[in-house]
């Protein structure tokens, strides 16, 4: 059973960047599809992007293209999400989650395990 542990809460100024980490244990990190999902206060879940470490390249939701960078370090089984040019609307809880990857049709699968969430507050 894979467990995901995220870094702690952050308070950032508008225009700055934040980098959140997600360390996995108990599974084969490289072959999972790792996603970052955020949830603004009182709002629904929003997929930001993801990475499959064995491939190394990330893909992003169009809304966040150019502002988010997702990376993975296989040596430490840790994924990272960096969001730049922060604004107040980016105040949210950021989750990492893992799911399977279907090698037969190159599709991602459901998100089976989630981190505990990291609150990022953007305020001047």
Asked whether position 47 contacts another protein by CB under 8 A, the answer is: yes
Asked whether position 59 contacts another protein by CB under 8 A, the answer is: yes
Asked whether position 105 contacts another protein by CB under 8 A, the answer is: yes
Read off the tokens for 58: 């990330």
Shortest spacing between CB 62 and another protein, in angstroms: 8
Residues 9 and 12: their CA atoms lie apart, in Å, by: 10
Full DSSP string of 23-70: EEESS-GGGSEEEEEEE-TT---EEEEEE-TTT--EEE-GGGTTTEEE
Residues 21 and 81: their CA atoms lie apart, in Å, by: 7
Q: Closer CB to another protein, residue 9 or residue 16? A: 9
Q: Which of residues 5-24 bind another protein (CB under 8 A)?
A: none
Q: Are 35 and 50 in contact (CB under 8 A)?
A: yes
Binder of another protein out of 25, 28, 107, 123 (CB under 8 A): 107
Binder of another protein out of 22, 33, 70, 72 (CB under 8 A): 33
The angle formed by the CA atoms of residues 69, 85 and 47, to the nearest 5 degrees, is: 45
Q: Closer CB to another protein, residue 37 or residue 86? A: 37
- Footprint of another protein (CB under 8 A): 33, 35, 37, 44-47, 50, 59, 61-62, 95, 97, 99, 105-112, 114-117
């Amino acid at each position: 059973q894979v467990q995901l542990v995220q870094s702690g809460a952050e308070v950032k100024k508008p225009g700055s960047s934040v980098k959140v980490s997600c360390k996995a244990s108990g599974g084969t990190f490289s072959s999972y599809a790792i996603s970052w999902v955020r949830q603004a206060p009182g709002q629904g879940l929003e997929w930001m992007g993801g990475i499959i470490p064995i491939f190394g390249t990330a893909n992003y939701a169009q809304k966040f293209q150019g502002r988010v960078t997702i990376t993975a370090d296989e040596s430490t089984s840790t994924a990272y999400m960096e969001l730049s040019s922060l604004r107040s609307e980016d105040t949210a809880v950021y989750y990492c989650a893992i799911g399977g990857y279907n090698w037969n049709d190159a599709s991602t699968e459901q998100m089976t395990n989630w981190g505990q969430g990291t609150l990022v507050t953007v305020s001047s």
